[in-house]
Amino acid sequence: MNLALINGPNLNLLGTREPEIYGSLTLPQLVARVTEHAATLGFGIESFQSNVEGELVTYIQQARGSSQGIIINPAGYSHTSVAIRDAISAVGLPTIEVHLSNIFAREEFRHHSHVSAVAKGVICGCGVKGYLLAVDALAELLK
């Protein structure tokens, strides 16, 4: 059983990008933490990051063939992308949306995510722990 771990734009800069908001872990370190945790529950992780909206859409479409669930931090596209929302809806895989920061405690334009309505759950403001909680949530949903 595999989970797709999808990170959107600018998350490749984790570790150096506004660490007071997003923490000091790099993306490879984050992926390693999630992979390690998923393995304890019997899941493999298929990780993908892109700064390009269409590439994220294509990856979500292809996840149907290789993964049983999706963990996604759509980053800035959360607030703008109908296409990513539609892709998640189209593939029908249980999806948990994750944000490192508490988007509701930040600028107003971050308060709405197009993805939330098609996600099984949304976790925000818990930092990297949010991704581990998302693995737990999907493991429970896929039982």
**Assigned token pair, 61:** 């479409």
Beta bridge pairs of residue 71:
5, 96
Residue 100 binds ligand DQA, judged by CB under 6 A:
yes
**Assigned token pair, 20:** 């007071």
Task: Please say if 99 is a catalytic residue.
Answer: yes
Q: Considering 37, 59, 99, 114, which one is annotated as catalytic?
A: 99
Comparing every residue's Cβ against ligand DQA, the nearest one is 75
Residue 132 binds ligand DQA, judged by CB under 6 A:
no
Task: Please say if 112 is a catalytic residue.
Answer: no
Q: Which is nearer to ligand DQA, 28 or 44 (CB)?
A: 28
Which active-site residues does the annotation give?
22, 99
Question: Can you give the binding site for ligand DQA, defined by CB under 6 A?
Answer: 10, 73, 75-76, 78, 99-101, 103, 110
